[in-house]
Structure 1
């Protein structure tokens, strides 16, 4: 027989946890009527380790109580299969989350390398999943949420691309498209594929810290035209803008945008 302190020590659980299990009728050690001390035998140890296992795999206390009353081997197997599916889904979600984290880390490197610098770069294929007239079109966000690699808990605005069409006289169209990257191994392509082999590529800074909240589209447009003229490139009248990163300075946002400007 073991004391509560001994059990807590070699099973790595607290006394409070053991008392909680007892309160929830998941554990029933013998109790000395004179001093109230509990004594645990090997069967109690089995109970504790079993309850610990169920708690570790996030089985609710209520379900464990039901298991204590009666549950066949088949019933336990079915319960574990349900939990297995939940764990597999969490693993897939965490893989996607890890991928997003790694992408943002790469974006930080891009900002350091290309901020204010113009180079010729390919805009790799993206699949168009839908369009939004404006980023404040909240009723269209459901389409966006369905198109973000199943990453949940938030609307992932990095799946938006702002598209500007222009000519020598000025802006013709300004809209947002909902996209996802097309990987080499992608097979389930449903929407239109968009790509441009040659683009002027740069990263610009926006946000209240650097611009005071003013619209700087005309400044960026002038810079693009200037670089294209100097290099002898013909602009195709399109700009694709992608949000890379938002950070803060003195409480004001600094927004970093990457731009692909197709050229000939």
Structure 2
């Protein structure tokens, strides 16, 4: 027979952990009625080691309690298969999270390289997964969210685009779309594909810190027209806007936007 101190040291667990296991009836050492000391036998040690094993697999205490009462080999296999799928799902989530982090790091480089600069660049293919025709069309938002492939089913920065249509008289309309980047050897495409081989490309800054919260759409349009005129480009009357990053200065947001304006 072993004392709680001996078991705690041998199995490298705290006394509090052993007491917690006892409270949850995961281990049942004998207790000396006279002095209240617990005595553990080798079966108790097996129980504790087994509980530790399942805890390392991140199996909930409630499920371990069920195992403690009764479980066949097939039942154990089923539980482990369920946990295996949870782990595989979490790995896929972590991979996607890592990819998104790497994208934002690249966006930081874009801001440093292209802020206030204008160049010609291809807009890589995007698949439209959903859209809101107008910012007041809240009833469409639920449907739009169902079509996104972003993290945790949420609409994230990397999947949201604002589109502005304009002509010589000014801005005609705008809408938001949820998109997915089309990769090489991609899976079957379901939605409409956006692709423009030549665009005027730049990164601009918006937000209350830099503009006082004023709408800069018309100034951006004027800048694009000026660049197109100077370079001899013909604008197609479209602007795609991607939110790259938001930071804060004195509590006011600085919003960095990526601009693609297709040209002939």
TM-score of the superposition, structure 1-length normalised? Answer: 0.94
Distance of aligned partners of 1:153 and 1:198 in 2 relative to their CA distance in 1, 3 Å threshold: closer
Is 2:27–2:44's contact at 8 Å kept on the other side of the alignment? yes
Q: Aligned residue for 2:165?
A: 165
Q: Aligned residue for 1:60?
A: 60
Distance of aligned partners of 1:10 and 1:140 in 2 relative to their CA distance in 1, 3 Å threshold: farther
Q: Which runs of 5+ in 2 are unaligned?
A: none
Q: Aligned residue for 2:189?
A: 189
**2:24 is the counterpart of 1:11:** no
| 1:141-200, Cα deviation, whole Å (9 max, x unpaired) | 333333332521643243221111111111122111221110113122101111000111
Is 2:129–2:148's contact at 8 Å kept on the other side of the alignment? no
**2:176 is the counterpart of 1:180:** no
Q: Aligned residue for 1:50?
A: 50
Taking the aligned partners of 1:223 and 1:147, their CA distance within structure 2 comes to 34
**2:215 is the counterpart of 1:215:** yes
| 1:64-117, Cα deviation, whole Å (9 max, x unpaired) | 222111111111111111111111111111111111111111111111111111
Q: Aligned residue for 1:149?
A: 149
Distance of aligned partners of 1:113 and 1:136 in 2 relative to their CA distance in 1, 3 Å threshold: farther
Q: Aligned residue for 2:27?
A: 27
Q: Aligned residue for 1:258?
A: 258
Taking the aligned partners of 1:150 and 1:241, their CA distance within structure 2 comes to 18
Q: Aligned residue for 1:75?
A: 75
Displacement of 1:5 after TM fit?
2.1
Q: Aligned residue for 2:84?
A: 84
| Greater Cα shift, 229-238 or 139-148 | 139-148
Is 2:131–2:144's contact at 8 Å kept on the other side of the alignment? no
Q: Aligned residue for 2:203?
A: 203
Taking the aligned partners of 2:80 and 2:184, their CA distance within structure 1 comes to 36
Taking the aligned partners of 1:172 and 1:165, their CA distance within structure 2 comes to 5
CA RMSD between the two structures = 1.6
Taking the aligned partners of 1:114 and 1:121, their CA distance within structure 2 comes to 12
Report the 3-state secondary structure (helix = DSSP H, G, I; strand = E; otherwise coil) of the residue aligned with 2:76: helix
Q: Aligned residue for 1:39?
A: 39
Taking the aligned partners of 1:198 and 1:39, their CA distance within structure 2 comes to 78
Is 1:96–1:149's contact at 8 Å kept on the other side of the alignment? no
Aligned length: 264
TM-score of the superposition, structure 2-length normalised? Answer: 0.94
